Structure 1
Amino acid sequence: MPVPPPATAPAPPAPLLSPLTGLPSEPGARVFAVKIDNTARARPWDGVEFADVVYVEPVEGGLTRLLAVFASQLPGSVGPVRSARETDIGVLGAYGRPALVFSGAAPPVLDQLVAAPLVPAVPRGFPAAFRRDDRRPAPVNVYVDLADLRGRVPEAGPVQDVGLRFGPAPDGGAPAPERTVRMGSTAVTVTWSAPDGAWTIATGGEIAVAGPDRRPVRADTVVVQRVGVVESSVRDSAGSASPIALTVGAGDAEVLRDGRSFPARWSRPAAGDPTRLTAPDGREVPLHPGRTWVLLVT
């Protein structure tokens, strides 16, 4: 009697990959975007090194702020948390219904945030998830526990495709060991570290670090996205108007990965659409799997 062949074990299912990093991800991960100060007195940051995607946005006075997007990891301390801007609404339109964590906003901006497809999360609404660090001066002393906040904001939407594509580096590109771009009065410099296989980030000549051990904040890919800007009707206490970076439309871009620079175009037809990055030949430009920083350069 013939012996039946041994049963073949079924192949394990392919790991779920995050559309924000291209790396394995837990199913059901939800999106939390945190507005973070980017002035010298606000650094070092907490938690920024764990963000999946970080946008550097222009704000009034030639300064910048971060919009750090978390889904893969939700740190217990992120900040310092600062106020939201109209640019945040446009950027987050591609993320479905994320939670936006911020410390406050001007009344006209707050009205827009409440009407936008996102979940506002401020200290007044979730006091148990926020803390003040007495070692820091106000207003750069507010921090959020995203792990705690997750259980308090069940409406926060899951990760979805925002247009990022990941894979091996394309052919070509030019060596780019360092790149400096001006964002208002701020110079942002990214430097390739071959031993680390990632980019370090410096603002105004100061290398960005985070956490109690002051580890350098690194990015696997940096996208320089050149955008238009309009002036908001909202002004700060000094009378300066806040710029609104226009992330719907199309424009030039540069993808920095693996120590090389790749020219690209970005396009996003509508606020709810993903942002596509394409090479001169029309093919999408893949990013290095991992953490991405996007510089919204006006």
Structure 2
Amino acid sequence: MFLVFVRMLILGILFINIDYAINLVKTSSPIIEPRGHIYKDLNYLLKKITNKRNRLQRIYIEQPEFLKEEKIKQARVDYYFALMIYQKAQLRVSKYKRLYKKDSLTVTIRVLAEKIEKHFKELKIYATYIKKMHPLDLYARNYALKPGKLLEFRKFKNLKTQKMMSGKDLFEILKRAYKFFNLRTKTSLNLCVKLLKPIADNVPKYLPAKFWLAKTYFDLEKIEEAQQLMYELLSIDPDLIISKSIDDRMLREDDLINYQYTPENKLPHEIASPVQVKKIKLDKSGMRSVPFVVSLGNSRRARPQSGLSNAELVLEMPVEGGITRLIAYFGKNSDMSLPIGPVRSMRNYFLREVYHLRPFFIHCGGSPGSYREKLELDFFTVDEIGGYMGFFRDRKQKPPHNLYTSLDKMAELAYSKHIKIGSPLKHLKTSKIGYPYKGKLIKAIHITYFEKYIVTHQFDVLTQNYVRYVNGVLLLDPATQRPSFSKNIIIQYVNVDTIDSVGRKHVDILGSGKAEIFIEGKRLKAKWKKIGLDSKTFYTDESNKEISLFHGNTWIHFVPNNKRIRVDNFSKIN
């Protein structure tokens, strides 16, 4: 009996030690993952990221797909998912290094990691180009603007060498071929064919080369070859917008920046009237003193805007989508360091309204009509889409309402253009004496642009300023924690028409019409008149004398003719 007890005791001790050893191994030693699993995971992630890269590459290279606006959204989504895949792959590689401390990466896993890194970098380049350059290129192509400078940024695949060729290099070849084409001898035309045919055969997406080769064939009386090329072009580019985008003027003068467009492609109401450009006045130092003007968003998500309380003059104009947009003027009295934003797109009537000042106009993108107006007027603007520096994104806000700038960030670029910041009120007649007209004090001005958007300017008797409210809410500038104050409020009644299915507007800023002006709390019936784009807007009273505004911040509302404002007196409501 004693021996049985001893045996059981020994066996119990052994089993307890074994369990203890197993638990010790579980808690102290990491589970070594087989290298084959890591290889399979990385190989799977490489395939996923390669597929995303190839899809963006197709959008980037192929012209017909590139013209579709929805491809921009696809590029953003693909880039987002590719970034997640890339980060996951990095975690797998770092985990591998941590588990096998004594081992370096095996050749296979190292190659996979390098391929993932390379493909993600390529994908990032494609995505950046599509998101940045595509919108401007889209406007250019859809409205028959010659892409010109944009061709330098395009890449085209050579099917023979399987390498990418830059648009700039292809343009140089086309330019050399044009010199031979222009001689119009049989020998020179054959030399032109010798240069263009390899591009037409091996780089089929570069349509201008095919177009010029077809023209050369026609001159050589090779009608069948020319017709065949034209059939190919028409199947890809029915209106030959892309094919004709590089014309003889560009090849002859090497003028890549001067975009052209055909008159028949202008939208109604967006045709710029002929302007005689006046000489721009320079000071003794050779600098031009102009206001800095920023196009600000004014949708619900864009409010409250930063830097608005710092503006000396603000214009408010209706745009599509049931919202308005603000054009804020900043001058020498404005704080240079405060953030200004969110910066949004321009419209053609913004440019027509500010053109007489030739201001330093800052924006991000614009409507098709605004780009045509800009080219027609030869108006320099600072467009974030064009790659100009001086903008920054606020990561706390959602795009597109997170783009900002500041006057000091723009000052260096302005200086390079021989521009310095000047007064935004010099085109308005102002006086420091005060309001010379009689009238009752107005307590509040209510402007109903849309059903869900009402602007109120309430008069503060103590400060003799108007304070701005939106839908009954006092908005404080995030940069200064102050509301927007104004000495003068101008209501300018204008014709506003909807010109397309998107809802884009045309605002008549030329001509004349009725106006109402509020200065130091008093109301005055007035008229406005603007005789040309080079002329300022005159505000006159009933006796046709120009009205003197009080020297200070001013707000001008462009209100449709079919709407009327409502005012509150201190005694009663009108």
Instruction: Tell me whether 1:258 sits opposite 2:532 in the alignment.
Output: no
1:226 and 2:501 are equivalent in the alignment: no
Structure 2 letter corresponding to 1:166: T
CA drift of 1:211 comes to 2.9
Is it true that 1:63 corresponds to 2:304 in the alignment? no
In the alignment, the residues of structure 2 paired with residue 132 and residue 44 of structure 1 have an alpha-carbon distance, to the nearest angstrom, of 16
Equivalence for 1:7: none
> What is the Cα deviation at residue 36 of structure 1?
0.4
Instruction: Tell me what 2:305 maps to.
Output: 45
Going from structure 1 to structure 2, the CA distance change for 1:148 and 1:129 (only over 3 Å counts) comes to same
Distance across 2 between alignment mates of 1:179 and 1:66: 18
Distance 1:213 1:47, change over 3 A: closer
The one-letter code sitting in structure 2 at the alignment partner of 1:173 is: G
CA distance 1:148–1:257, change in 2 (3 Å): same
* Secondary structure of 1:82 counterpart: coil
The one-letter amino acid paired with 1:184 is F
Partner of 1:177: 443
2:428 corresponds to which of 153, 164, 179 = 164
Q: Distance in 2 between matches of 1:44 and 1:59?
A: 18
In structure 2, the partner of 1:121 is 382
Q: Which runs of 5+ in 2 are unaligned?
A: 1-286, 561-574
Deviation of 1:217 after TM superposition, in Å, equals 0.9
TM-superposed deviation, 1:54:
0.3
Do structure 1's residue 277 and structure 2's residue 539 form an aligned pair? yes
CA contact (8 A) 1:201 1:207 kept: yes
Match of 1:194 among 426, 439, 461: 461
Q: Structure 1 or 2: larger strand share?
A: 1
Tell me how far apart the structure 2 counterparts of residues 114 and 184 of structure 1 sit (CA, whole Å): 32
Deviation at residue 109 of structure 1 after TM alignment: 2.5
User: Which residue of 131, 138, 149 maps to 2:392?
Assistant: 131
Q: Which residue of 2 aligns with 1:205?
A: 472
Counterpart of 1:179, as a letter, is I
| Conserved 8 A contact 1:57-1:66 | yes
CA distance in 2, matches of 1:78, 1:212: 8
- Cα distance in 2 between the residues matched to 1:240 and 1:122: 23
Partner of 1:291 in structure 2?
A: 553
Mapping 1:23-42, distance limit 5 Å: 29-42=289-302
Partner of residue 111 from structure 1, selected from 356, 372, 375: 372
Name the CA distance, whole Å, in 2 between partners of 1:108 and 1:265.
28
Contact 1:192–1:259 (Cα < 8 Å) also in 2: yes
- Separation of aligned partners in 2, 1:240 and 1:180: 28
Residue 176 of structure 1 aligns with an amino acid whose one-letter code is I
Query: Displacement of 1:266 after TM fit?
Result: 0.7
1:127 Cα offset (Å): 4.6
1:145 aligns with 2:409: no
With 265-274 and 200-209 compared, the bigger mean Cα shift is at 200-209
Q: Which residue of 1 aligns with 2:341?
A: 79
- CA drift of 1:231 comes to 2.7
Q: Is the 8 A contact 1:47 1:75 kept in 2?
A: no
Deviations 1:164-214 (A, max 9, x none): 111221221232110111223421111101122211112222223213452
The 8 Å contact of residues 307 and 340 in structure 2, kept in 1 or not, is answered as yes
Would the aligned equivalents of 1:177 and 1:260 in 2 still touch at CA under 8 Å?
no
Mark the runs of 5 or more structure 1 residues left unpaired by the alignment: 1-26, 234-238
1:215 counterpart (482, 491, 494): 482
Contact 2:290/2:424 (8 A) holds in 1: no
AA matched with 1:30: V
- CA drift of 1:111 comes to 2.7
CA distance in 1, matches of 2:475, 2:519: 19
1:91 aligns to what? 353
Q: What TM-score do you get using the length of structure 2 for normalisation?
A: 0.44
Residues 113-164 of structure 1 deviation map (CA, whole Å, 9 limit, x = unaligned): 2333532112244553100001111110000122121220243475587641
On the 8 A contact 1:44/1:210 being kept in 2, the answer is yes
Question: 1:67 & 1:259 partners in 2: Cα distance?
Answer: 24
- Whether the aligned pair in 2 keeps the contact of 1:55 and 1:68 (CA below 8 Å) is yes
Amino acid at match of 1:79: G
Match in the other structure for 1:21? none
More helix by share: 2
Look up the equivalent residue of 2:440 and give its one-letter code: A
Shift of 1:99: 1.8
Alignment-derived partner of residue 17 in structure 1: none
- Structure 1 residues 121 and 42: alpha-carbon distance in aligned structure 2, compared to 1, 3 A threshold: same
Q: Structure 1 vs Structure 2: percent identity of aligned residues?
A: 24
Contact kept, 8 Å, 1:190 with 1:201, in 2: the verdict is: yes
Q: 1:240 to 1:210 in 2, by over 3 A?
A: same
Asked if the contact 2:312/2:329 (under 8 Å) is kept, the reply is yes
Query: Alignment length, in residue pairs?
Result: 266
Deviates more, 1:77-86 or 1:169-178: 169-178
Name the amino acid aligned to 1:47: G
Larger radius of gyration: 2
Bigger relative CO (Cα 8 Å, ≥ 6 apart):
1
Label 1:51 to 1:108 Cα distance change in 2 as closer, same or farther (>3 A).
Answer: same
TM-score by length of 1: 0.82
1: CA distance between counterparts of 2:530 and 2:426? 10
Partner SS for 1:181: strand
CA distance in 2, matches of 1:117, 1:175: 45
CA distance in 2, matches of 1:282, 1:131: 46
Between 281-290 and 152-161, report the one with greater CA deviation.
152-161
User: Are the counterparts in 2 of residues 57 and 87 from structure 1 also a CA contact under 8 Å?
Assistant: no
